[in-house]
Structure 1
Amino acid sequence: MSKGYWVSVYPAIDDPETLDAYNGLAGRAVAAAGGRVLASIGSRIVAHEAGIADRVVLIEFDGFEQAVAAYESAAYREALAALPEGFERDFRIVEGLG
């Protein structure tokens, strides 16, 4: 079974404290679904080619379907509702290779 990954890119975070509620709820939802944070906001980034060094969060799940189910869970939906108005991010669920 191929692993599943959540990849989130945050172009700008104007006020990190506004994410506190989301971070707490999302952290519990991810842990309950068996996810493991591999990289988070604040991790070092070296940007190449386009040179965009946006903040990145990378979370690993044991399977792709598990990653999709975690996103669709009631616990994570509650976390999404806590995101501040107008908050911008690029979120993807990616299947690992083998």
Structure 2
Amino acid sequence: MNKGYWIIAWKSITDAAAVERYIAPGTDAILAHGGRILAAGVPARAYEEGLSSRLVLVEFDSLQLAVSAYESADYQASLTHLVGAAERDVRIVEGAG
């Protein structure tokens, strides 16, 4: 079974305090559902059409676990802090076999 990954690109942040309120419950929910944060931060380099915005890469043991974690009640509750405070591009992909 291939792993599942969240790839999150933060497009804009208009309320840094609200984002800070998201981080603890969001991280707790990710970890509670078996997620492992592999990378987080601004890219060291951005090529082609890449943007230098904050990125987060989270690994799960399967694609289904990645989807279930995102759709879980506790993670969805953490997202309420981001409403009107940040825009993100969140993608869930299956790892290469």
Unaligned residue ranges in structure 1 (runs of 5+): none
2:35–2:58: 8 Å Cα contact kept in structure 1? yes
**What is the CA distance between 1:52 and its match in structure 2?**
1.8
1:46–1:53: 8 Å Cα contact kept in structure 2? yes
Q: Taking structure 1 as reference, are residues 51 and 44 closer, same or farther at Cα in structure 2, changes over 3 Å only?
A: closer
The structure where strand makes up a greater share of residues is 2
Unaligned residue ranges in structure 2 (runs of 5+): none
How many residues are matched?
97
Instruction: Determine whether 1:49 maps to 2:48.
Output: yes
The alignment yields a C-alpha RMSD, in angstroms, of: 1.5
Secondary structure at 2:87's aligned position in 1? coil
Q: Output the TM-score relative to the length of structure 2.
A: 0.89
Correspondence 1:4-83 to 2 at 5 A: 4-41=4-41, 43-83=42-82
Range moving further from structure 2, 24-33 or 11-20: 11-20
Instruction: Determine whether 1:89 maps to 2:88.
Output: yes
Secondary structure at 1:54's aligned position in 2? coil
Q: Output the TM-score relative to the length of structure 1.
A: 0.88
Q: Distance in 2 between matches of 1:51 and 1:91?
A: 15
Report the AA paired with residue 28 of structure 2: R
**What is the CA distance between 1:44 and its match in structure 2?**
4.0
CA deviations over 1:33-72 (Å, ceiling 9, x no partner): 010001113x542111124222101000010000000011
Range moving further from structure 2, 10-19 or 26-35: 10-19
Q: Distance in 2 between matches of 1:83 and 1:89?
A: 9
